[in-house]
Amino acid sequence: MLHSTPIPALLEPIVEKIINGTRISDADGILLFEQGSLGLVGRLANHIKEKKHGDKVFFNRNFHIEPTNVCVFSCAFCSYSRLYANREEGWEMTIQQMVDQVKKYDGQPVTEVHIVGGVHPKMDLNFFADLLQAIKSHRSDIHIKAFTAVEYEYMFRKAKVSVEEGLKRLIAAGLDSIPGGGAEIFHPEIREQICADKVDADGWLNIHETAHQLGLHSNATMLYGHIEKYEHRIDHMRRLRELQDRTGKFQTFIPLKFRNKENDMSHVGESSHVEDMRLYAIARIYLDNFPHLKAYWPMLGRTQAQLSLSFGVDDMDGTIDDSTKIYSMAGSEEQSPTLTTDELTQLIRQVKRIPVERDTLYNEIRIYEA
């Protein structure tokens, strides 16, 4: 498997662990970042991916609803939100407008609506419970994956309810699972510089752990390629791995590339494509208890997302249908993020992988010919 890849002597014990399916340590992970060549970590990650999923690459048919980009928080890396004081520059959707978006997909085989947005002080727990009920009333079969831990923390705090009480209410209204946004970088040294005023690492992890205890699956993200160091990345992934050990309810890890357009961190350079692939590969190696690793193609760009399939990634997200602005506003390579099912499956086939349409919970709907 690694016959054509030189292995530095100091990495040989780590490589042996990985091949034998033994968990690597934090120090091992940092050493891979510092000393592991792209070819080496890529081959190791691909070895793990193929042990888990063979040549399968998953995707789903989904669309996004973004209720508002008005936000009470001021994250330095964000190009998307508009502060509440300047909300004339943003948008605020009504429940009916969002239900109308769902109606556009009537008769189409989409399986998921993904709902995330800014933290708007007037869009509270009651508002979002009513939204979920309205969507389910119109289309009961669609899976609702909604709201980041940042949105939950604010709406529950404002409603003066516990995390458990708030989640139970939203589950009753139609919530099916939770996306992974808002994690950014957990370490306080970095978090205080890029998003000091929103929920901290312990709060984010508690919301996901509570959701898991209530039977919900969730995803997890990490914003990388800005001012963080390798040890901050490993610290972030360690906290996720520890929670996954306890609950087993995380489905996929989604590294999110920092984009520097139109935000307060525009002076910070973006990571190279080589560093992107190294991050994906080492994430696949380190997060041994996460079933899936996703490349969010609207952020990474379809070509680089396709390349990531050789570096441990087994999920390409979904068709999305030009329904998200979060990364296009930050200068991503995909300014009109939409792919047809045929286009997405072709991207996967071009790198000799097998496209598999899934639902949100990774039940296989259709396996396409390679």
pLDDT digit string, tens, across residues 308-367: 999 999 999 877 654 444 444 444 454 455 678 888 899 999 999 999 999 999 999 999
Query: What pLDDT sits at residue 82?
Result: 52
SS3 readout for the chain = CCCCCCCCHHHHHHHHHHHCCCCCCHHHHHHHHHHCCHHHHHHHHHHHHHHHHCCEEEEECEEEECCECEECCCCCCCCCCEEHHHHHHCCECCHHHHHHHHHCCCCCCCCEEEECCCCCCCCCHHHHHHHHHHHHHHCCCCEEEECCHHHHHHHHHHHCCCHHHHHHHHHHHCCCEECCCCCCCCCHHHHHHHCCCCCCHHHHHHHHHHHHHCCCEEEEEEEECCCCCHHHHHHHHHHHHHHHHHHCCEEEEEEEECCCCCCCCCCCCCCCHHHHHHHHHHHHHHCCCCCEEECCHHHHCHHHHHHHCCCCCCEEEECCCCCCCCCHHHCCCCCCCCCCHHHHHHHHHHCCCEEEEECCCCCEEEECCC
Tell me, what's the pLDDT at 87? 54
pLDDT at 297: 80
- Note the pLDDT tens digit of each residue in 190-203: 999 988 889 999 99
Q: Is the pLDDT of residue 303 over 70?
A: yes
Residue 14 pLDDT exceeds 90: yes
Domains of the chain: 54-367 (3.20.20.70)
24-28, 54-58, 67-71, 277-281, range with the lowest pLDDT = 67-71
pLDDT tens column, 78-129: 655 555 445 556 789 999 999 999 999 999 999 999 999 988 888 899 999 9
